[in-house]
Amino acid sequence: MNKIILEIRAGAGGDEAAIFAGDLARMYQRYSANQGWKVSVMDTSAGTLGGFKTFICRIEGEGCYDAFKYESGVHRVQRVPETEKAGRVHTSTATVAILPVVEPKEVNVNPGDLEVTFSRAGGPGGQNVNKVESAVRILHKPTGIVVSCREERTQHANRERAMEVLRAKLYEMQRMKEFGDTDAARREQVGTADRSEKIRTYNFPDDRITDHRFGIKVHNVETVLDGDFGAILKKIRKSQ
């Protein structure tokens, strides 16, 4: 699998959670760029003080799924936010989901189950983006899944990308059903973003990243978040 959808959502922690989601987005994007993989941002929702409430992108390249397949779940950060006057350490979370891109023939989507709406994309991108209703939002009525894409230049391209995300999510649900309760499986994958549910903790005061599933520790938190994701990946592979 050489094409994936990466979805990051800010969890508990307000503005700091959005900033942390932005840190994770930067880490994955920079690592992908260093690997020579193509990253296409599909949809974002900016945080009030920076970062992202939501960040969704498509990554394409040899080995990208193998590199990121263990990233799904709740990531937790412990640090003193810039807005904290008393110097207290805050705990915030972000959820990550990794979804393989699947071919249209692998997932049957009934067009009658879709509610498609269009809007102006807004933001950077020139006059074309602002004047034309190129942003696409698709609701899959049977499941309630909502996907959107606003980063491509045309309505058609945005719809294609949004459908790609929808198929990936529906495929994941089908796969989960084979293993039992869909809701339980989904919670296991990305959690509920509660601070207590975590797969990995990025602890700034101790300059340590702990992966709770594999029992591994990595230091130099800022270097890792600046794109040195390989430091985590090497230890995960060694632990298996």
Residues 23 and 87 in one domain: yes
Share of the chain above pLDDT 70, in %: 87
> What whole-number distance in Å separates Cα of residue 107 and Cα of residue 124?
33
Whether the Cβ atoms of residue 68 and residue 2 lie closer than 8 Å to each other: no
Residues 47 and 156 in one domain: no
- What pLDDT is attached to residue 235? 94
Residue 112 structure tokens: 């009658």
Residue 159 structure tokens: 């719809």
Most distant pair of Cα atoms in the chain: their distance: 56
Confidence of residue 83 (pLDDT cuts 50, 70, 90): confident
Residues 118 and 12 in one domain: no
Residues 31 and 122 in one domain: no
> What whole-number distance in Å separates Cα of residue 124 and Cα of residue 128?
10
Residues 16 and 112 in one domain: no
Structural domain including 125 reads 104-178
Residues 46 and 7 in one domain: yes
Residues 28 and 69 in one domain: yes
The residue out of 137, 158, 178 marking a domain boundary is 178
The residue count for the chain = 240
The residue out of 163, 178, 193 marking a domain boundary is 178
Of 176 and 58, more confident: 58
- What pLDDT is attached to residue 189? 47
Residues 67 and 84 in one domain: yes
Residues 68 and 142 in one domain: no
CATH classification of the domain holding 53 = 3.30.70.1660
**Geometric angle at alpha carbon 175, from 111 and 182, rounded to 5°:** 90
- What pLDDT is attached to residue 103? 86
Confidence of residue 84 (pLDDT cuts 50, 70, 90): confident
> What whole-number distance in Å separates Cα of residue 150 and Cα of residue 123?
10
126 has a pLDDT exceeding 50: no
201 forms beta bridges with 76, 210
The residue out of 178, 202, 227 marking a domain boundary is 178
Whether the Cβ atoms of residue 155 and residue 141 lie closer than 8 Å to each other: no
Residue 161 structure tokens: 């990308």
- Please give the tally of structural domains in the chain: 2
CATH classification of the domain holding 170 = 3.30.160.20
Confidence of residue 142 (pLDDT cuts 50, 70, 90): very high
Residues 217 and 139 in one domain: no
Residue 88 structure tokens: 């207290």
pTM, to two decimals: 0.83
Among 31-45, 46-60, 147-161, 175-189, which stretch is predicted with the lowest mean pLDDT?
175-189
Residues 27 and 53 in one domain: yes
Of 130 and 209, more confident: 209
Residues 170 and 151 in one domain: yes
